[in-house]
Amino acid sequence: MRVLIEIHEGHIVRNFLENGLLERLTERGAVVMVVTPGARVPTFVKRFEREGAAFADLGLITYRPRSRVEVYDFALGKWLCARGLNRLRRWSWRYLAEPRAAREGTRENALLDQWKPDVVVSTHLSQVYGRRLIATAHRRGIPTLGNLNSWDNVWKGLWVRPEVITCWSEHNREEICTFAGYQPEQVKVIGAPAFDAYFAPDGMWTRAELCARLGLDPARPILLFATLGQFSQQIDETNPFEALLRALDQGLIPGNPQIVLRMHTWSKDIYFKHLMSHPAVTLSRFETYVPGLTWTPTRDEVILLGNLMRHADVVISPGSTISIEPAAFDTPTLVPVFNEYMPEVYESYFRQTWLNQHFGRLVKHDWVPLARTPESMVEMINWALTDRSWYREGRTHIREQILGPLDGKATERFVESLWALK
């Protein structure tokens, strides 16, 4: 079996290559071609090279930006599905957009002519990288598979439309059918490959082991503050953390807690520099970088993050995916949605970007507490430190309805879904 798979972002490397995807495929006798910018980086190739695996870069990041027709098709597809016209959406893709995407895929056609795969895989459907590759393969009668990278990606829209999609949970499956026009039998629930390392036997540390690695005191409370990421240059993301340190200095949080500042890879260190030197703060982040792929966490880095969420006493995160991941470990979590410097701007940004989209379900059902002021944030932290069962019912719903299977076998199920297409 010849498998062609495109990987164009570093966190997708974390999801699949770091979880042994190439080993699982080649051990079954598959020959794998990975289309990735990492093919140009010798250290990347050396890390993952093995017999039966090859790497190539088609330059899909810069090659032909989205055409006007592609943008129209994307908007039309969302409009049709919003009105329940799913059959018409499937028709418009199959007979209008897909043929055009295939015609425009000059490099993709050349690669398929040369390599002749049995299956073609796209790993990030809300990004455009694999659009023409998948369209070209399908027009040639080659089976196609895609993975929904994250829980919020359906809301962002699917630029790539393979025959079969794998996703985190039954809730994701419902969203894909409702908002992208797929039929239920085309969508397979596998869980999140990104979480596999969290639940591997060697990935579950004791609290003492975690604290020894980070220089923390296991007897003192651990507050994990995970930043959102500087997605908008004009939006300040430091204020909730500043308010947390202020409360700590004022003695408003008992137990002499230590704070782990978990920096999103898109957060700007320089913006937090004046806060990082606080004696209660320990810095943590993904550190591995690959040119062309950007942040590319190793399995060891993922295991560290999993244990931070597992052993934190409270997690504070203003809307990142880490606002739901701690539910996997039943760790109390709260979401600050305030900014003392720009309250109107921040509220509008959070509402438009989060509350009106994927995050709205969590708020509607009260599955996570929102801290709308610094005072309420402190009150919630103290409540969670006193009673770990606080908001447990909400975390249970998140775990069961959004996170999907949490057994460390999502990558294995992805391989099974791929193999079923041969």
Q: What is the pLDDT of residues 337-384, one digit of tens each?
A: 999 998 888 888 777 777 767 788 888 899 999 999 999 999 999 999
pLDDT for position 351: 75
pLDDT for position 384: 98
Mean pLDDT of 298-315: 98
Burial of 185 (0-12, 13-18, 19+ CB in 10 A): exposed
Strand pairing of 187-189 and 222-226? unpaired
Mean pLDDT of the chain: 94
- From residue 16, alpha-carbon distances to 10, 124, 268, 297, 402 in Å are 10, 12, 27, 11, 20
Contact 227, 261 (CB under 8 A): yes
Contact 263, 283 (CB under 8 A): yes
Pair of tokens at residue 33: 């071609």
DSSP string, 22-69: HHHHHHTT-EEEEE-GGGG-HHHHHHH--TTEEEE---TTTSSPPPHH
- What single DSSP character describes residue 196? G
Burial of 229 (0-12, 13-18, 19+ CB in 10 A): middle
Mean pLDDT of 325-330: 98
Mean pLDDT of 83-105: 95
Structural domains in the chain plus CATH codes = 2-192+407-419 (3.40.50.2000), 196-403 (3.40.50.2000)
pLDDT in tens, 154-193: 988 999 999 999 999 999 999 999 999 999 999 999 999 9
Pair of tokens at residue 348: 């509008």
Contact 145, 421 (CB under 8 A): yes
Mean pLDDT of 306-320: 95
How would residue 229 be classed by pLDDT, with cut points 50, 70 and 90?
confident
333-336, strands of its sheet edge to edge: 281-285, 258-263, 222-226, 314-316, 333-336, 370-371
Mean pLDDT of 244-262: 97
Is 233's pLDDT higher than 80?
Answer: no
CA 23 centroid distance within chain? 23
Calpha distance 206→200 (Å, rounded): 14
Contact 130, 138 (CB under 8 A): no
pLDDT for position 64: 60
pLDDT for position 63: 63
- What single DSSP character describes residue 201? G
Mean pLDDT of 402-418: 97
CA 219 centroid distance within chain? 32
Which of the two residues, 201 and 356, has the higher pLDDT score? 201
